[in-house]
């Protein structure tokens, strides 16, 4: 006997229905809620706030323990569609969610990734902008900005200049969200070009602006991260596939070298949230017709997955006092890689340092005490869904756990006020001039 209806019902997982079309807010919510219900043991859906027009800013978390952080499991995130008219990333992240949940327990790579990583996926940071664009259009349209006409990728505090703009609800929601988790690695997805761009987006002479670039002390890691993405995307890797007349060797670029911006999200993540973020430009056309979506998924799938695995680069661990109590707010940094705002252990005493293979001296400093130095050797091919684990027990006498740790906030903004001056707008660049004149912004 055959029961076709019954068979269909049993064999078709609910989510397999995700199609290659644009999912407006209502359908996107429906999809996310279905996933959260169907895969409740590995997903957690929550909204981190609301847009100007009151739409939820959804984040779907995928992981073995999706609701809470576990010591040793790094937090990763993807954010798309912060420019509402750059739409490819939004759909790619929905397909990524579908791919992750349907391959858990089937594909060993995906299963290991979900077991070792907590993955936060935000398909749209600017849902109002997306809804404001009426139909596909390859070039700039008004949906780029949020409902109050603010470009969200110019709306964050800036380390180098006073970015005195009205902080928008979408930006505030992301800033608050960054405080709730120790994010280690991130990417934000854009369109209008085809390149992986890494910090800084703004800078001063001390970061290299006289040479038309602005580099972080982790430049080797950032180039590697950007190349990890770009090299697995055939068109991005070529570096010249869009008609923007800019060539990107290997499909990667320093953000400032391309064109400086103030108040960008990737610099904010790196400087204030201890999170390495890069900016991915995924399509020459900002809002392509939906027939193109399958090919974008095919050309980005391997990159999206391989990039997530990079959250396991380098070294991680906990810092304890001599009695074995975890110590929060301890500065843990590699010597000669000091961050503008020192990277500190979280409330579990954890640190995560993204590093390429090699030998490093780690400087562990409890405020008010002499620094403690320890050496790490990060081997090649150490990456097996875990960074090298190195816990650090500080050899201090006394009750370190009871010590009042001073509030180590960042210095006042702009952080580089006393360094040689700089104004992004005066950078003599024909490209920047054209960008401004023609209103062809990407990132």
Ligand X SMILES: *[C@@H]1O[C@H](CO)[C@@H](O)[C@H](O)[C@H]1NC(C)=O
385: partner contacted, choices ligand X, Zn ion, none (Cβ within 5-8 A by kind): ligand X
Question: Which CB atom, from 36 or from 261, has the smaller least distance to Zn ion?
Answer: 261
Largest CA distance in the chain: 82
190: partner contacted, choices Zn ion, ligand X, none (Cβ within 5-8 A by kind): Zn ion
Question: Which CB atom, from 112 or from 241, has the smaller least distance to ligand X?
Answer: 112
Minimum Å gap between C-beta 47 and ligand X is 25
Minimum Å gap between C-beta 269 and Zn ion is 15
Minimum Å gap between C-beta 86 and ligand X is 36
363: partner contacted, choices Zn ion, ligand X, none (Cβ within 5-8 A by kind): ligand X
Is residue 395 within 8 A of residue 181, CB to CB? The reply is no
Question: Which CB atom, from 179 or from 439, has the smaller least distance to ligand X?
Answer: 179
User: Tokens 């279905």 identify what position?
Assistant: 34
Task: Considering only the stretches 54-62, 119-127, 281-289, 363-371, report the one whose residues sit in contact with ligand X under the rule CB under 6 A.
Answer: 363-371
Residue 68 makes contact with ligand X by CB under 6 A: no
Question: Which CB atom, from 41 or from 407, has the smaller least distance to ligand X?
Answer: 407
Count other Cβ atoms within 10 Å, centred on residue 350.
22
Residue 331 makes contact with ligand X by CB under 6 A: yes
Instruction: Give residue number: closest CB to Zn ion.
Output: 190
Question: Which CB atom, from 2 or from 336, has the smaller least distance to ligand X?
Answer: 336
Active site residue 281: yes
Minimum Å gap between C-beta 274 and ligand X is 14
86: partner contacted, choices ligand X, Zn ion, none (Cβ within 5-8 A by kind): Zn ion
Residues 84-123 close enough to bind ligand X by CB under 6 A: 112
375 HSE (CA, 13 A, CB side): 4
Torsion sign over Cα 327, 331, 334, 339? positive
H or E element in which residue 330 lies: none
H or E element in which residue 256 lies: helix 255-258
What residues make contact with Zn ion under the rule CB under 5 A?
83, 86, 190
Torsion sign over Cα 175, 180, 182, 186? negative
Residue 383 makes contact with ligand X by CB under 6 A: no
Backbone φ, ψ for residue 123 (5° rounding): -65, -30
83: partner contacted, choices ligand X, Zn ion, none (Cβ within 5-8 A by kind): Zn ion
Q: Where on the phi/psi map is residue 377: left (φ > 0), alpha (ψ -120 to 50), or beta?
A: beta
Question: Which CB atom, from 323 or from 335, has the smaller least distance to ligand X?
Answer: 335
Q: Which of 179, 368, 411 is nearest to 275 (CA)?
A: 179
x/- string (CB under 6 A) for ligand X, residues 117-156? ----------------------------------------
Contacts of 333 (CB under 8 A, 6+ apart): 339, 342, 343, 353, 362, 363
Cis peptide before 200 (omega within 30 of 0): yes
* Catalytic residue from among 281, 290, 306, 333: 281
Is residue 20 within 8 A of residue 290, CB to CB? The reply is yes
Q: Where on the phi/psi map is residue 279: left (φ > 0), alpha (ψ -120 to 50), or beta?
A: beta
Residue 217 makes contact with ligand X by CB under 6 A: no
144: partner contacted, choices Zn ion, ligand X, none (Cβ within 5-8 A by kind): none
* Helix 88-103 and helix 293-309, axial crossing angle in degrees, nearest 10: 60
Question: Which CB atom, from 130 or from 372, has the smaller least distance to Zn ion?
Answer: 130
Minimum Å gap between C-beta 439 and Zn ion is 13
398: partner contacted, choices ligand X, Zn ion, none (Cβ within 5-8 A by kind): none
Residue 176 makes contact with ligand X by CB under 6 A: no
Residues 396-435 close enough to bind ligand X by CB under 6 A: 406-407
Count other Cβ atoms within 10 Å, centred on residue 311.
28
Enter the tokens of residue 40.
Answer: 């409740």
Burial (CB count <10 Å: 0-12, 13-18, 19+), residue 355: buried
- The single residue among 40, 325, 335, 423 that binds ligand X, judged by CB under 6 A, is 335
Catalog residues that contact ligand X under the rule CB under 6 A: 112, 331, 335, 342, 363, 365, 371, 384-385, 406-407
| Residues annotated as catalytic (active site), given as ranges | 281
């Amino acid at each position: 006997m055959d029961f076709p209806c019954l068979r269909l019902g049993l064999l078709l997982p609910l989510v397999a229905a995700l199609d290659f079309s644009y999912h407006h807010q209502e359908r996107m919510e429906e999809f996310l809620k279905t996933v959260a219900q169907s895969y409740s043991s590995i997903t957690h859906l929550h909204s981190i706030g609301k847009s100007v027009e009151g739409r939820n800013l959804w984040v779907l978390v995928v992981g073995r323990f999706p609701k809470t952080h576990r010591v040793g499991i790094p937090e990763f995130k993807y954010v798309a569609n912060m420019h509402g008219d750059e739409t490819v990333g939004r759909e790619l992240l929905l397909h990524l969610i579908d791919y992750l949940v349907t391959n858990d327990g089937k594909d060993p790579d995906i299963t290991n990734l979900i077991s070792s990583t907590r993955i936060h996926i935000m398909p749209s940071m600017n849902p109002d902008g997306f809804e404001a664009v009426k139909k596909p259009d390859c070039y700039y349209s008004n949906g780029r900005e949020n409902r109050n006409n603010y470009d969200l990728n110019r709306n964050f505090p800036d380390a180098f200049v006073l970015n005195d703009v009205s902080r928008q609800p979408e930006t505030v929601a992301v800033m608050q969200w960054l405080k709730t988790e120790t994010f280690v690695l991130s990417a934000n997805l854009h369109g209008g070009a085809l390149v992986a761009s890494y910090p800084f987006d703004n800078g001063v002479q001390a970061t290299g602006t006289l040479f038309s670039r602005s580099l972080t002390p982790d430049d080797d890691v950032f180039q590697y991260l950007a190349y990890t993405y770009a090299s697995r995307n055939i068109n991005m890797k070529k570096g010249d596939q869009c008609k923007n007349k800019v060539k990107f060797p290997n499909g990667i670029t320093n953000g400032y070298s391309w064109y400086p911006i103030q108040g960008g999200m990737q610099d904010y993540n790196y400087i204030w949230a201890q999170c390495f973020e890069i900016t991915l430009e995924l399509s020459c056309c900002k809002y392509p017709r939906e027939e193109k979506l399958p090919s974008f998924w095919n050309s980005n799938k391997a990159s999206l997955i391989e990039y997530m695995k990079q959250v396991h680069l380098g070294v991680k661990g906990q810092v304890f006092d001599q009695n074995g109590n975890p110590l929060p707010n301890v500065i843990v940094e590699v010597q000669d890689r000091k961050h503008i705002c020192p990277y500190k252990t979280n409330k579990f005493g954890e640190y995560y340092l993204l590093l390429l293979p090699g030998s490093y001296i780690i400087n562990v400093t409890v405020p008010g005490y002499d620094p403690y130095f320890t050496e790490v050797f990060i081997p090649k091919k150490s990456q097996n869904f875990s960074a090298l684990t190195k816990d650090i027990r500080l050899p201090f006498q006394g009750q370190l756990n009871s010590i009042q740790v001073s509030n180590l906030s960042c210095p006042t903004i702009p952080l580089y006020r006393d360094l040689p001056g700089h104004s992004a707008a005066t950078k003599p660049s024909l490209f920047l001039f054209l960008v401004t004149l023609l209103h062809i912004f990407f990132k």
